[in-house]
Structure 1
Amino acid sequence: MLSRQAKDTIVKGLIYFSAASTVGILAVILGFIIIKGLPGLSIDFLTRDYEDNTTYVYSELLETQEGNSTEGYSERLGITLDFDEENGLVIAEIDKDSPVRNALDGNDEKYTVKKGDILTRIGDLRIDREFKELDSKDEKAAAEFVQKAIDEIDAVKEDSVRLRVVRIGGGIVPMAVTTIYMIILSLMIAGPVGILSAVYLNEYARPGKIMTTIHFAIKNLAGIPSIIYGLFGSLFFVQILKMQYSLLAGALTISIILLPTIIATTEETLKSIPKTYRESSLGLGATKLQTISRVILPNALPGILVAVLLSIGRIVGESAALLLTAGTVAQIPHALFGNSASGATLTIKAYTLMKEENDLTSACAIGIVLLVIIIAINVASKLITNKFLKKKGI
């Protein structure tokens, strides 16, 4: 038989082993994501659209003396051109007073040409065709390629020139914007419903079968897999209500997922408010509604904010439900529902990058962005909680 000391030593060892294993697993996961994703992180990755964007623009030309455009610089457009082995003719620099900053697209709307844009056509000169026939390793041929483009600009007799500009994609801006839209819309729907439900359960509902049933339903809602919510949202919001794959369909589905978290967290916060607050307010002649709105909810605000922050983390990390309701298109939604309302969040895009394109680096780079967001949310939640406890003197 083992002695009590030996048993205590074994139990203590198991406790330390479990703690070390948990930390180790977390470190391995974070390390894998960071190591694989860091090569894919860049300013362009964080600031560009996902898809390449091709636009025909018209730019005015400056009056200059013939022959002044040299060494990759076009005086008539006020830009410096460079050769890129992968993309061809790249705008390397743009003067402050360059006319391309005020270029117009085919709808006569302003289109600001930016540094890093690719020129594939200048007037009648098809830059893209000549680039395909060019030996990109030949430095002399590359220099002649750039100079030919500048000569074409100088040869234009009109006051303006037509350019075909390609803005290279590969960024996460559409998914980031869609994620922000999803957070705002979901919280606008779930926040008021969840908070008011918690107020009812804590301030109005009497103990009994109805309250027990409601709590039972809330606990079960919290335990249902998100794919089930996605199937419901796809059937009800997307098909029956004909919202199609859209921002609104996704937000309504996510709102149902958030309700248990918001209700439970808010209710616990309301329970922590001392009864003397209610009694004092009612004793001074305030109605129950006035007491709730002016005394209870203001004091419960830190806890409600924690519930909101936790909900944001759930929205950011959700994938299954949004995959079946919001869609996988890498674009910024321009409506709440309909053909132009579909959009992929960061989590959905990370999933499709791995499943459909086998792009581990970009998927892990998005994973790093998501980790930063989640960590920031957890830190904010902790700070709010600590401030609340400090205020209470706990």
Structure 2
Amino acid sequence: MGRKAKDSLVKGIIYLATGITLSVLLFIVGFIFIKGIGLVNWDFLTRDFNEKVVYAFIESNDVPLSIDEESLNGKNPYDKRYETHLEGPIYVENIGAAIAKVAYKNHSTEREQFVITYIEKDSSLHSAIDSTGKSITIGTDYILQSINGNDFSGLTLEEVATTIADESGELKVKIVQPGGGIKSNIITTLYMVLLSLIVALPLGIFGAIYLTEYAKPGRLVNMIRFAAECLAGIPSIIFGLFGMAFFVVALKFQISLISGSLTVAIILLPVIIRSTEEALKTVPMAFREGSLALGATKLQTIFKVVLPCAVPGIATAVLLSIGRVVGESAALLLTAGTVAQIPGTLFSPGSTLTVQAYYVAKEEGNIELACAIGIVIIVIVIVLNILSRITSDKLDVFNKK
């Protein structure tokens, strides 16, 4: 076989491998988007996962319907939780809203409910308050369960509409704020990122400064670098087991935000140390020598000359670390928990985006919702990578000036 034939064969293999890689990547991302894109909207991002029952107080106020019946019948709830439309909708003037009877699907259960499908702009529902006087948001897919103590269970849609229309004055309405959102998971993920970086970033940077600027080449330094490289390759579930044994059990932090953050901080240390060390090595030795020649101390040289020049590399390490936190799941399952709530304190449990995706897919079998969460994670990772590149380029230009 001639050299040209061999080159063509190798080039074909390279192109084939590249094509397979891109195809697999596009297939995975495409599958996630096709399955989950229908659930991604503003309500999905701003609502909690669990339903919440509240009592709203509104004033009865007759508001005429401003749209035609055909348009009213076309109003539907925002997602696929309402599997079957049973009756209605019927417009009720004294609350300025239309209601319909639907088969409401909540995770694995299904039951009949009365849901708001349309609200007039002058409806008193827009000015609803709770018992403390705090404003309550009522949306077009909220569930009505009772009014002034009159429960709607077992009633037809016509009977419910009549019951509401017969009431006047101040109305006490029992409503269910629908769940299915990931607001608490997004906030918990942000908490996890912030706390883990607060711990890991200074430790990692100072560790890298020691290895680069102070430690003398030898067996000790080689052992430290080898340990950091080994830690970077250890599966995160091992860190999770350690975090559960040490932070959760031994220190009695329980399954909580602080336990998860400290565990993730340990996972990030090798990444930050190695990335920062490489960034520090790129700073020319002449910069150090010039600073010392002008009378600066070793510490002043490090913090006023070396570190500012290494900022682009450190910033890249930070953004990549954030991506690692966002994508972490195994360690957090054992240390932070799977409770879909906003942690009230550092010692409260919470569920990040990846943990929630695992929970809804594994425990509930809701692949669509898991894929919708996956879309949010993919977008976050893409944004972080873009920010990483922009930040690195901007800081490089700044340092050159």
TM-score bracket for this pair, using the shorter chain length: 0.7 to 0.9
Specify the code of the residue in structure 2 equivalent to 1:112: I
CA drift of 1:8 comes to 1.9
TM-score of the two chains, using structure 1 as the length reference = 0.86
Residues 314-366 of structure 1, C-alpha deviations (whole Å, 9 max, x = no match): 001111000111111111111111xxx11111101111111111111111111
Q: Assess if the C-alpha contact under 8 Å between 1:195 and 1:263 holds in 2.
A: yes
Does the alignment pair 1:126 with 2:151?
Answer: yes
Does the alignment pair 1:357 with 2:364?
Answer: yes
Specify the code of the residue in structure 2 equivalent to 1:283: A
- Cα distance in structure 2, aligned partners of 1:69 and 1:220: 69
Residues 256-306 of structure 1, C-alpha deviations (whole Å, 9 max, x = no match): 000011111111111111112212221221111111112221221121111
For the residue of structure 1 that corresponds to 2:265, the secondary structure is: helix
Residues 234-266 of structure 1, C-alpha deviations (whole Å, 9 max, x = no match): 111111111111000000000000001111111
- 2:172 pairs, out of 162, 165, 171, with 162
Q: Assess if the C-alpha contact under 8 Å between 1:350 and 1:366 holds in 2.
A: yes
CA drift of 1:95 comes to 5.3
CA drift of 1:206 comes to 1.0
TM-score of the two chains, using structure 2 as the length reference = 0.85
- 1:385 pairs, out of 387, 392, 398, with 392
CA drift of 1:310 comes to 0.2
Does the alignment pair 1:202 with 2:219?
Answer: no
Q: Assess if the C-alpha contact under 8 Å between 1:46 and 1:171 holds in 2.
A: yes
Does the alignment pair 1:55 with 2:54?
Answer: yes
Report the equivalent of 1:82: 99
Q: Assess if the C-alpha contact under 8 Å between 1:79 and 1:91 holds in 2.
A: no
Q: Assess if the C-alpha contact under 8 Å between 1:177 and 1:332 holds in 2.
A: yes
- Cα distance in structure 1, aligned partners of 2:29 and 2:50: 28
For the residue of structure 2 that corresponds to 1:115, the secondary structure is: coil
Does the alignment pair 1:114 with 2:138?
Answer: yes
- Structure 2 stretches lacking a partner, 5+ long: 66-90, 104-112
For the residue of structure 2 that corresponds to 1:312, the secondary structure is: helix
Change (3 A) 1:192 1:109: farther
For the residue of structure 2 that corresponds to 1:104, the secondary structure is: coil
Residues 170-213 of structure 1, C-alpha deviations (whole Å, 9 max, x = no match): 11111111111111111111111111111111111111111111
Report the equivalent of 1:36: 35
Residues 9-35 of structure 1, C-alpha deviations (whole Å, 9 max, x = no match): 222211111111111111111111111
- Cα distance in structure 2, aligned partners of 1:391 and 1:185: 29
- Cα distance in structure 2, aligned partners of 1:37 and 1:102: 33
Does the alignment pair 1:7 with 2:14?
Answer: no
- The 5 Å alignment of 1:127-142 reads 127=152, 129=153, 132-134=154-156, 142=157
Q: Assess if the C-alpha contact under 8 Å between 2:360 and 2:367 holds in 1.
A: yes
Change (3 A) 1:40 1:50: same
Report the equivalent of 2:164: 149
- Cα distance in structure 1, aligned partners of 2:41 and 2:20: 33
Q: Which range is displaced more, 225-234 or 381-390?
A: 381-390
Report the equivalent of 1:186: 196
For the residue of structure 2 that corresponds to 1:310, the secondary structure is: helix
Change (3 A) 1:245 1:111: farther
CA drift of 1:73 comes to 5.0
